Chains A and B, each alone.
Chain A
Amino acid sequence: EAGVTQFPSHSVIEKGQTVTLRCDPISGHDNLYWYRRVMGKEIKFLLHFVKESKQDESGMPNNRFLAERTGGTYSTLKVQPAELEDSGVYFCASSQVYGGGEQYFGPGTRLTVT
C-alpha cells in the first residue's frame, strides 16, 4: 500500500510569489490533514478535510493560505503571496478513522521563502 505522498519535496521561492503544495493521501482515507512546522517551533495543525469538506480550518494562519480537496482525493495548499514567515516544513497526513490519532504522515514539503 502506497503511503502519503507530497510534492514537491522542497520549494524555494521569493517573497510575494505563489506556491502550491500537493498531497496525495492513502487511498480510501477520507480524512486529510495539513500541518506545518516553522523553524524551532512545534508541529502545528492547519486544517482537516473529511472527503472534500473542510471539517476544521481553525489553524490556517491567514487568508493567504488556501486549501482545496476537490473530489475528495488529493489536496492542494496554496500560499499567495508567500511571506518570509511562511518558511517551514508542511506535512500532510491522512487517516481512515475520524478523530483517530493514527494519522499517516507524508514526508513533508520544505518551503523556503527568501
Chain B
Amino acid sequence: GESVGLHLPTLSVQEGDNSIINCAYSNSASDYFIWYKQESGKGPQFIIDIRSNMDKRQGQRVTVLLNKTVKHLSLQIAATQPGDSAVYFCAEINAGGTSYGKLTFGQGTILTVHP
C-alpha cells in the first residue's frame, strides 16, 4: 500500500545551523503534504503544508520543498534553536473517496539541537 517514509531517523545539529529533514513518499496521487513536530509528552503539532501543485512554500524559519519527480519532500529549518528539538513527521493526504482527511505518516526523524 501507500507509504511515506524518512531517509534519516536522527539528525543532530548545532544551534544556529540550518536543518534539513527529508521524506520520501510512494503515492503519486497524494495531493497534500504536511510536516508535523512532536515534542516529548505532546501530540503532533502542525508546522507547514504544501499542495502538490506547488514546489516550495515558506513559513516562519521553515521552508518545505516538494519534488514530485522523485517523490521527495523536505523541511528546512533556518537558524535552528534548541526549542526545535523534537520528532518531525511528514504526512500526506490523498484526496478522493471517503479517505480524504486521513493522514498517512512517515516514521519520524529525531532532531537534536546542541547549544
A residues whose Cβ falls under 8 Å from a Cβ of B: 4, 31, 33, 35, 41-45, 48, 55-56, 58-59, 91, 93, 95, 98-108
Contacts and interface: CB of A to CB of B under 8 A. Distances in A.
Given A42-B108, A101-B32, A102-B49, A107 B42 contact: yes
B115 interface: no
A42 B107 contact: yes
A48 to B, nearest CB: 5
B89 interface: yes
A101 B43 contact: no
B49 A107 contact: no
B49 A105 contact: no
Given A101-B46, A105-B44, A107-B42, A42 B105 contact: yes
Contacts of B102: 33, 45, 48, 56, 58-59
A40 B77 CA distance: 25
Interface stretch (B12-20, B67-75, B90-98): B90-98
Contacts of B103: 33, 35, 43, 45, 101, 103
Interface of B: 32-34, 36, 41-46, 49, 89, 91, 93, 95, 98-108
Contact of B43 (A31, A58, A59, A91): A91
A98 B49 CA distance: 15
Contacts of A104: 46
Contact of A99 (B36, B44, B95, B104): B95
Nearest to A58: B99
Given A42-B105, A42-B106, A43-B105, A103 B98 contact: no
B45 A56 contact: no
A99 B100 contact: yes
A59 B1 CA distance: 13
Contacts of B93: 99, 101
